[in-house]
Structure 1
Amino acid sequence: MLRDYQPADADAIVRVALAAFAEFEQHYSDWPLFTANVAKMPQLAKAGEIIVAEDGGEIVGAVAYVGAQAPKPEFFDPAWPVIRMLVVDPCARGKGVGRQLTEECLRRAERDRSPVIALHTTQIMTVALPMYLRMGFAKVSDAPDILGVPYAVYVKALA
């Protein structure tokens, strides 16, 4: 079940985000700094809409949808809505949670009448990146590395 974020969800989404990224620890040059930034995920609610996924009353995933013209990193076109921080608890993987969260972001971009939606990710995300490609996202540019990990910007045209 998907629903909008409530402030009381903050601790749960931070727990899910940290668990989701834990497998990538060896890739980042400063893991404590990276996890400190991941733990700021609830702050994305200030600039965008956080969507949470629940299973049996437990939060198992979350994503931020940041609309066009809202503050976002400078490597994104300011007119693009973007998908930020898609996270799924490792115990809930393989159930389509990530796809459902992404599809909800696509619906919100269509609601906002945006012709495109963007995100940034990295090759080390061996589940997320292929999912985005299957869903029609295409690489448009490189993005700045994050603590030694190369990232790129991907865009999907909307109907």
Structure 2
Amino acid sequence: MSHQEYIIKEAAPGEFAKIGELMVNVYSQLEGFPSKQEQPNYYKMLASIGSLTENPKTKLLVAISSNGKIGGGVVYFGDMKYYGSGGTATAEKHASGFRLLAVDPATRGKGLGKRLTNACIQIAKDEKQNQMIIHSTQAMQIAWKMYENMGFRRSDDLDFMQGELPVFGFRLVFQK
């Protein structure tokens, strides 16, 4: 299946549970990432990912195939106060962010992560934001290269600890 057969769109409520399942599966398989036993509330949040859309300017985007298969998802935050991270990110002004980017292992390598990221960037630009903020962990270093190739730069001022887990901030400043 080619990546063109997937469209990126705002998820419908009927897709929320399946996207939540995908997120739990993807994050629980990351080497070096906390387990469900270590961070049960984090995994509960992943499973009920659609509830985040109850916040203003928050969207759950999905990559979905023409036959209804969910290939990935991401949560876009148009207002950083709902971003839900530690550290200083939630106080950033004129900024958008995204979190919880997950791509089904069966669809990796088809560009879905990049397409979901670009969809978030486009929404932020449409909303006239100045920058995009994201976070990642050591367990997600495969994604770091993609983010850096897309123009994101490490931003130490956004780093924080989630329990025992160091979380690293990245920033993409939009050209005026």
Shifted more, 111-120 versus 32-41: the winner is 32-41
Q: Equivalent residue for 1:41?
A: 49
Unpaired runs of at least 5, structure 1 = none
2:115 & 2:124 partners in 1: Cα distance?
14
Q: CA deviation at 1:24?
A: 2.2
- Please point out which of 9, 16, 26 is paired with 2:15: 9
Pick from 73, 82, 93: which aligns with 1:71? 82
TM-score by length of 2: 0.82
8 Å contact from structure 1 (residues 61, 87) kept in 2: yes
> Map of 1:138-149 to 2, 5 A cutoff?
138-141=153-156, 142-149=158-165
Deviation of residue 117 (structure 1)? 0.6
- In the aligned structure 1, how far is the partner of 2:78 from the partner of 2:126? 10
| Aligned residue in 1 for 2:121 | 106
Tell me which residue corresponds to 2:70. 59
CA drift at 1:123: 1.9
Per-residue CA shift, 1:39-95, capped at 9, x if unaligned?
232122122011110123211111111003552236213322111111111111111
Unpaired runs of at least 5, structure 2: 1-6
Q: What TM-score, normalized by structure 1, do the two folds share?
A: 0.90
After alignment, is 148-157 or 65-74 more displaced?
Answer: 65-74
SS at 1:27's partner residue? Answer: coil
Report the AA paired with residue 14 of structure 2.
A
Q: Which residue of 2 aligns with 1:115?
A: 130
